[in-house]
């Protein structure tokens, strides 16, 4: 299996420099990685560096998801204007856990209807949610018309787990694709998540996995 075509390479550490960005995107193009994920600040430069050689994905409200829906929507639209083709949007899991479901629903619907035509992945930070909350998150994301549910930002514990990928894949019932992300550092892990139904792998350990 050509794992590279399933990888979203993350360049999201706060200490990332422009030189880091340039070097990593160059390596990703050489390895034929599918996409690179960057903060909104770096989207325009990443698009210039990628030159069509790989997809640029912008993270939105990363990593906590607690910007307002208006702020999130602005981040989405600005990132798309700057050339991003995909969005990894952190769901407001604090609002979800607080029972503010109408707010979470409207936020997802507002983003969904204003970003049609692009690939949207919603990060639920599964390590913070119980099983019922994870299933509820899947329903809300599916209702919003977005394409993916994503396990984690990679900035929380435990990140992607086999149990969560199985649960999200089952709960989605073919309506959403699953992106496994968080703590994936080996080829064996990546292959295992793909075998469980994930269709995209988010990792910053791309070069180790593909070495």
pLDDT digits (tens, 9 = 90+) for 77-100: 999 999 999 999 999 999 999 999
Mean pLDDT of the chain: 98
Each residue of 191-209: pLDDT tens digit?
999 999 999 999 999 999 9
pLDDT at 133: 98
Contact criterion met (CB below 8 Å) for 210 and 6: no
Strand-pairing partners, residue 37, are 10, 57
Q: What is the pLDDT of residue 1?
A: 87
**Which single residue is written with the structure tokens 């086999």?**
162
What does the pLDDT average to over 104-114?
A: 98
Active site residues: 88, 150, 179
pTM for the whole structure: 0.97
In this structure, the dihedral spanned by the alpha carbons of residues 128, 136, 88 and 109, taken in order and rounded to 10 degrees, is -140
The rounded distance, in Å, linking the Cα atoms of 176 and 170 is 10
Residue 105 CB neighbour total at 10 angstroms: 15
**Mean pLDDT over residues 51-65, rounded?**
97
């Amino acid at each position: 299996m050509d794992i590279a075509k399933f990888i979203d390479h993350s360049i999201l550490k706060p200490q990332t420099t422009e030189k880091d960005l340039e070097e990593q995107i160059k390596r990703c193009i050489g390895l034929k990685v599918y996409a690179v994920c960057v903060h909104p600040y770096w989207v325009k430069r990443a698009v210039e560096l990628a030159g069509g050689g790989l997809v640029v994905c912008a993270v939105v409200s990363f990593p906590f998801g607690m910007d307002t829906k208006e702020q999130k929507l602005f981040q989405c639209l600005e990132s798309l204007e700057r050339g991003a083709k995909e969005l990894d949007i952190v769901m407001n899991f604090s609002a979800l856990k607080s029972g503010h479901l109408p707010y979470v629903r409207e936020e997802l619907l507002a983003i969904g209807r204003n970003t049609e035509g692009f690939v949207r992945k919603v990060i639920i930070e599964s390590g913070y949610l119980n099983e019922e909350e994870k299933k509820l998150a899947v329903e809300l994301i599916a209702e919003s018309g977005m394409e993916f549910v994503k396990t984690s930002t990679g900035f929380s514990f435990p990140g992607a787990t086999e149990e969560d990928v199985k649960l999200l894949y089952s709960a989605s019932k073919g309506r959403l694709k699953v992106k496994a992300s968080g703590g994936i550092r080996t080829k064996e892990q990546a292959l295992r998540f793909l075998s469980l139904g994930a269709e995209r792998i988010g990792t910053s350990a791309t070069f180790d996995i593909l070495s």
